[in-house]
Structure 1
């Protein structure tokens, strides 16, 4: 009986040793940097680093573009204000007489009525020219 127990014990020990040998080989292949999961992890880590660098560059570029756009918007608003003042000052100028017209051929302008209050609508409106355009 002891002989059978010893044979079973040796067989179990050899089986466990063979199992450990197979497991060690699989683990070595698993962590191999070129073909196994270790290689995949190394590649993914390099890709994450590249993406982080690209994201940092994109953020810097977006910040620069945002600053430039804000500056251009401010310049455009300033130019629009100046243009509004120029157009408003043109409305205040008297119309220059034209030498080709005679006083008899010029129609009388319609009387303008000025509102008591400032209009709540647009600041500028088109005026209709009187007379013929040439």
Structure 2
């Protein structure tokens, strides 16, 4: 399946969870998928994706599973690849963390995560 028009595909965030402890021992792992208008995963497209994290957290790591590429992954961008990039966010304090993913020609997505105090 391929994206045929500018908005025939969309970004989709897949969070392992949206609530976690507000410390550096509990890191949420999120992926960004490219899906068609029916929600079917599109693996035939190579899209560069930019990630921004704001609020009570920072972008800890960003990467893809493609082992051989001539483009480097930066702190906020992944090179084009036919897999879903993995995003790791680290909370810096208690509160909401906003995670935004942007790809050329596709509407950005925003995911809100929540870092809460650890209950003992």
Give the TM-score category using the shorter length.
Answer: under 0.3
Q: Between Structure 1 and Structure 2, which shows a larger proportion of strand residues? A: 2
Q: Between Structure 1 and Structure 2, which shows a larger proportion of helix residues? A: 1
In the superposition, the TM-score normalised over structure 1's length comes to 0.19
In the superposition, the TM-score normalised over structure 2's length comes to 0.21
